[in-house]
Amino acid sequence: MRDDTFVLLTTVPIKAGCEAEYLALVYEVSDQMRHEPTFVDTVLHRSADDAGLFMLQETWRDRADYFAVQMRRPYRARYEARLPELLRAPREMKVFEPLRTDRAEATADSAPVAALERFYAAEANYMAAGGARGGASFAPLAETLAPDVVLHQSPDLPWGGEFYGHAGYEDWARQMSEAFDALEVKDRQLVASGDTAVAICRLVTRSRVNGSTINAPMAQVVRVREGRIVEFRPFYWNAPDYRDAVGSAR
C-alpha cells in the first residue's frame, strides 16, 4: 500500500428497530463514495452478538483530503443529518495505518461468483422461455438482482444507456428479447475480489431481424451486495456487429 493509505474504523451502535434504516443510509453513501479517486475499499460489519452494533471499515488514501473534502461530500448530508436520531450511543472513529494485507486467492465458490452463476442460470431460463417477447416471467431473474441494481450499457450499442432498478433492467431485457431470439453466455471464467466478480466469456446471439449469429468475446464486471447483483457493467467486442444484427429492430 502507498504510504498515505489509512484505515478508518467507525463503531456505530444503532437503536433497536432502526437497523434497516441505518443500512439503507450507509449503503447509499457507500454506493457513491466508491467512485472517489482516493477511495480504496470499505467493509461493513455487524456484531454477531448485537444486531444493532455495526462497524464500518474504510480504507482511503490521503488522510487530510478525507477529513477536509470527503466527509463534506453532499451525498453524505442525509446520512450525517439522520444518524444522531438513530444512535443509541455516540459513534467512535479511530484511524489506523495498515502494516500488512493477506488475502486468499479468489475461488469459484466465492459469494460474488455464486451470485453471478445464479444470475446466468435465471437469465438462460428467461431466454429459453421466450424472454419478454414470449411472455416469460421476469420474477426469477429479478430475484438475483438488488432492488437498486444499476446496469451500465455502452452508448455505442443499440441498447446503450443506464438502466435503474428492476423496472429498468426488465426494460433492457425486453429490448434484448425483441432483438435476439437466442442469447447464451459460453466458456465463462469467473474470478472475484471483495464484492466484485469478473466474467470472461463468449456471448452467442442470434438476430430476430436477419438471423445472423454473433459469437464474440465479452467481459462483465459485476458488484454484489448481500448475495444479489447491485451493479452490472458489460464490455462487448465490436459494437458495430450488434448494430448491424439489430438493424430495424430499434
Which CATH code is given to the segment(s) 5-96?
A: 3.30.70.100
Please give the pLDDT value at position 105: 56
CATH 3.10.450.50 residue spans of the chain: 111-249
Hey, what's the cell of 122? 435465471
Q: What is the pLDDT of residues 55-78, one digit of tens each?
A: 999 999 899 999 999 999 999 999
Residue with cell 478525507: 66
CATH architecture of 111-249: Roll (3.10)
| pTM (global) more than 0.95 | no
Smallest CA-to-CA distance from 30 within 195, 173, 233, 144 is with: 195
Residue carrying C-alpha cell 459469494: 111
Q: Where in the chain is the domain with CATH 3.30.70.100?
A: 5-96
Which band of pLDDT confidence, cut at 50, 70 and 90, is reported for residue 250?
A: very low
Instruction: Give the end-to-end CA distance of the chain in Å, rounded to a whole number.
Output: 48
Range with lowest mean pLDDT among 98-102, 120-124, 134-138:
98-102
What's the rounded mean pLDDT across residues 107-134? Answer: 79
DSSP string of 175-216, one letter each residue: HHHHHEEEEEEEEEEEEEETTEEEEEEEEEEEETTT--EEEE
